[in-house]
């Protein structure tokens, strides 16, 4: 391969990758110097002149003329008789500059040189891509479905960058076809080897927060602040919002007339049910609001142990707990308090843990996850509803109900 041919391939890279000229010239010089080191043992005495515009590349080796038979380092020194073949009037002690052609390096070295050049340019590209997407972490990004795999969807953006949307970062109801555009946040960017791994998420609470910024002007402008977001992706979310301007109703502004503003966000998240709540520093009021749509009769806070005891009318209990226990779980996450629900007039009720000698602990825990901590809280429910709200078999639930009924009959 002639010097010009290498420069031509060099120009191809410049056009394809849009690398700036100075960087690309530095890469080419670095690759050439590595090749010279392998061939001659050292590159300190070589001058490399690159002119990509003209397709010109020159390599010059500088050596000192020594008397015949006194050459100790052939790379640094040249015998007088050899020097005089280049220029007849050279004398001992003078410097000789001799041009080195790429062909002098040998075919194998030239192929390795080109491969090294490709590798270095890709490495530079990957570093730039890593830096670019590292700055985009936590931001919404859109890319197109390129390939659908069992454990992930591979997306490509307009520049051909590969983005991974893992199965566990997809909303359960998500269904995408090849060529479809997908929105999510750039959750993480890591270098695996020399290649950046860009991970997108649609399940992160931050994705919902950024959608509020994107879709609601007052949030984008900073007039309304999103204080905290908690989610069960695809099912339910709670968003606490605040405004420092008393003239602005943060909840009303976020929801819009008849839900017009939040509708697009709900649709993006697979019809996820979103409760928008007014944030307050008043903990009692905040816990009360977090349990919406349930109406709380009274509330007792244990700030030291971060627990809240909530008294509700019987008809409000199911609202507080929510389908599958989602409402009470998210209210706890939003406020940071463990919330215990009690029914009005439930003095004769018995906590479920009192039956630990008859009901296995893991079953009690399963009911507790759904906010069912007492005997009456279970007996008031239909078996069908209990099956939906827990991961328990119908037979197991019926046996528990039998045990609880016997207690109250006694």
Structure tokens at 157: 């953006």
So what's the pLDDT on residue 277?
A: 95
Local confidence band at 168 (pLDDT 50, 70, 90 cut-offs): very high
So what's the pLDDT on residue 19?
A: 61
pLDDT at 377 over 60: yes
Mean pLDDT confidence for 265-292: 94
Q: Decide: helix, strand or coil at residue 346.
A: coil
So what's the pLDDT on residue 18?
A: 53
Local confidence band at 327 (pLDDT 50, 70, 90 cut-offs): very high
pLDDT at 392 over 70: yes
Round to whole Å and give the CA distance between 142 and 181.
7
In this predicted structure, which of 56-70, 164-178, 274-288 has the lowest mean pLDDT?
Answer: 56-70
Packing angle between helix 3-17 and helix 21-40, nearest 10 degrees?
140
In this predicted structure, which of 28-32, 94-98, 331-335, 344-348 has the lowest mean pLDDT?
Answer: 344-348
pLDDT at 204 over 70: yes
So what's the pLDDT on residue 356?
A: 84
pLDDT tens across 364-376, in order?
Answer: 888 888 778 788 8
Q: Decide: helix, strand or coil at residue 8.
A: helix
Q: Which is more confident, 194 or 243?
A: 243
So what's the pLDDT on residue 329?
A: 93
In this predicted structure, which of 3-12, 20-29, 319-328, 349-358 has the lowest mean pLDDT?
Answer: 3-12
So what's the pLDDT on residue 4?
A: 45
So what's the pLDDT on residue 235?
A: 94
Q: Which is more confident, 385 or 178?
A: 178
* Residue that the structure tokens 């919406």 belong to: 292
* Residue that the structure tokens 């004398």 belong to: 91
Q: What are the backbone dihedrals phi and psi of residue 291, each rounded to the nearest 5 degrees, phi first? A: -85, 0
Q: Decide: helix, strand or coil at residue 227.
A: strand
Local confidence band at 128 (pLDDT 50, 70, 90 cut-offs): confident
Question: To the nearest whole percent, how much of the chain has pLDDT over 90?
Answer: 40
* Residue pair 280/316 in contact by the 8 Å Cβ criterion: no
Q: Which run of H or E residues covers position 410?
A: none
Local confidence band at 403 (pLDDT 50, 70, 90 cut-offs): confident
pLDDT at 172 over 90: yes
So what's the pLDDT on residue 8?
A: 53
Local confidence band at 203 (pLDDT 50, 70, 90 cut-offs): very high
Domains annotated on the chain, with CATH: 3-131 (3.30.1480), 136-202 (2.40.50.140), 204-279 (3.30.300.20)
Round to whole Å and give the CA distance between 288 and 304.
18
* Residue pair 146/178 in contact by the 8 Å Cβ criterion: yes
Mean pLDDT confidence for 240-258: 91
So what's the pLDDT on residue 126?
A: 80
pLDDT at 344 over 90: no
Mean pLDDT confidence for 52-69: 81
DSSP string for residues in 38-49:
HHHS--TTEEEE
DSSP bridge partners of 309:
300, 340
In this predicted structure, which of 5-9, 127-131, 166-170 has the lowest mean pLDDT?
Answer: 5-9
Local confidence band at 251 (pLDDT 50, 70, 90 cut-offs): very high
pLDDT at 201 over 70: yes
Structure tokens at 313: 């009318």
* Residue pair 410/350 in contact by the 8 Å Cβ criterion: no
């Amino acid at each position: 391969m002639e010097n010009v041919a290498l420069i031509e391939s060099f120009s191809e890279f410049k056009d394809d990758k849009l690398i700036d000229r100075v960087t690309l010239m530095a890469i080419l010089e670095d690759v050439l110097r590595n090749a010279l080191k392998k061939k001659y043992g050292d590159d300190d005495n070589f001058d490399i002149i690159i002119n990509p515009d003209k397709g010109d590349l020159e390599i010059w080796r500088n050596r000192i003329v020594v008397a015949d038979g006194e050459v100790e380092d052939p790379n640094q020194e040249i015998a007088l008789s050899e020097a005089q073949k280049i220029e007849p009037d050279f004398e001992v002690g003078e410097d000789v500059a001799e041009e080195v052609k790429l062909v002098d390096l040998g075919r194998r070295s030239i192929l390795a040189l080109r491969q090294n050049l490709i590798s270095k340019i890709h490495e530079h590209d990957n570093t730039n891509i890593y830096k670019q997407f590292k700055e985009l972490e936590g931001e919404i990004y859109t890319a197109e479905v390129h390939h659908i795999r069992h454990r992930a969807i591979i997306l490509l953006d307009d520049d051909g960058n590969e983005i991974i949307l893992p199965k566990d970062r997809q909303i359960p109801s998500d269904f995408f076809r090849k060529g479809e555009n997908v929105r999510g946040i750039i959750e993480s960017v890591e270098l695996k080897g020399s290649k950046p791994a860009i991970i997108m998420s649609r399940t992160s609470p931050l994705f919902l927060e950024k959608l509020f910024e994107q879709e609601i002007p007052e949030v984008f402008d900073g007039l309304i602040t999103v204080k905290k977001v908690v989610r069960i992706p695809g099912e339910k979310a709670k968003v606490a919002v605040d405004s420092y301007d008393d003239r602005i109703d943060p909840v009303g502004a976020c929801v819009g007339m008849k839900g017009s503003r939040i509708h697009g966000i709900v649709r993006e998240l697979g019809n996820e049910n979103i409760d928008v709540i007014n944030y307050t520093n008043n903990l009692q009021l905040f816990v009360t609001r977090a349990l919406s749509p349930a109406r709380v009769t009274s509330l007792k806070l244990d700030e030291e142990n971060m627990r809240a005891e909530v008294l509700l009318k019987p008809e409000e209990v199911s609202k507080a707990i929510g389908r599958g226990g989602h409402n009470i779980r998210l209210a706890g996450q939003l406020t940071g308090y463990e919330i215990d629900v009690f029914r009005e007039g439930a003095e004769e009720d018995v906590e479920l843990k009192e039956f630990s000698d008859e009901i296995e602990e893991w079953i009690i825990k399963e009911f507790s996850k759904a906010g069912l901590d007492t005997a009456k809280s279970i007996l008031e429910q239909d078996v069908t509803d209990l099956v939906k709200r827990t991961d328990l078999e119908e037979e197991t639930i019926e046996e528990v109900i039998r045990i609880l009924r016997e207690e109250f009959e006694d």
